[in-house]
Amino acid sequence: MAAVNGSSDLSSEMEVDAFRRLFPLRYHEYHLLKSVRPDARKLGSARDTTLALGAVASADGSALAKIGSTTMLAAIKMEVMTPTVECPDEGSIAIEFHMPPICSPLVRPGRPAEAAEVISKQLSDTIFSSGMIDLKELCLVGGKAAWMAYLDIYCLDADGALFDAALLSAVAAFSHLNIPVVSLNDDGRIVIVSEDNVRGKLEKEPVNKEKRKLKLNSPLFSLTCILHKNYILADPTAEEESIMETVVTVVLDSSYQLVSLYKPGGPVLAHTSVIQDCVALARRRVKELQNVLNEAISDMEVD
């Protein structure tokens, strides 16, 4: 009897899986009628989120962020540059988002993913326009030397809400960043001081006497939502994004103020009430992400 029941359960699972593959939209709409999603989440709930700081030992700042299965690795490398004539007392930041073939079967070797360029620009626009980082903090010697921060974010698993996870990893990496000690050499040039020289006695007085943290004015957090008919789904998976095409991404700062709203088309009109609902969900999500970031920073300090 048990064998019969086991066979029946297996048959039912195969039928459900076949239905999901053949009619994905109908499968998801069946769950939406019950206000639940296939992974058992409520419509407005995000997936479990984790952060680990210092994931790359050779980087000046790094973080590994996971939202559900979506995984991002962010690493920052600092280099000394000559500031521009227009902004002699400011440093600079270069942001690059990478999607290697390992992250998704949709990404082909040798072909850059279209989403990578879009997310790179979206990240740059969001971080620079928000004022989260004061570029004057990256100045070493006015008009002569400043820091260039190279931020590279690698998508290791692309299972939806890529921008949210990328932004979280970027903010975490900047929170972990230790700006190196630098000194003037005999030619009057700025050079990065090695750890051994920091512990010993320097021939020249260092420009900054110890490693320091970069001050973040107001960390940024985001929430991507899917709009489908009268439903709003927070933190969508890749499957949900592929079959319900209207996406809205809300970016807030740590004071819950709206920084940006991104809606790249889609068949569903985003009325004012819908946008307000998305912002309300994002504010709730900011509280969760702030706690995740604070816990990661605390764990790093303990270690």
As a whole number of angstroms, the distance between CA 237 and CA 269 comes to: 21
Eight-state DSSP code of residue 210: S
- In order of 31, 237, 278, the CA distances from 28 in angstroms are 5, 12, 20
Domains and CATH numbers, the chain: 44-177+214-301 (3.30.230.70)
What pLDDT, on the 0 to 100 scale, is given for residue 191? 66
Asked whether the beta carbons of 75 and 68 are under 8 A apart, the reply is no
Please give the model's pTM, rounded to 2 decimal places: 0.88
Three-class SS string for 103-149?
A: HCCCCCCCCCCHHHHHHHHHHHHHHHHHCCECHHHHEEECCCEEEEE
What pLDDT, on the 0 to 100 scale, is given for residue 3? 44
The pLDDT tens digits of the residues spanning 166-223 come to: 999 999 999 999 988 877 665 556 666 665 554 444 455 555 556 778 999 999 999 9
The pLDDT tens digits of the residues spanning 238-294 come to: 999 999 878 999 999 999 999 999 988 777 677 889 999 999 999 999 999 999 999
The three-state secondary structure class of 12 is helix
What pLDDT, on the 0 to 100 scale, is given for residue 255? 94
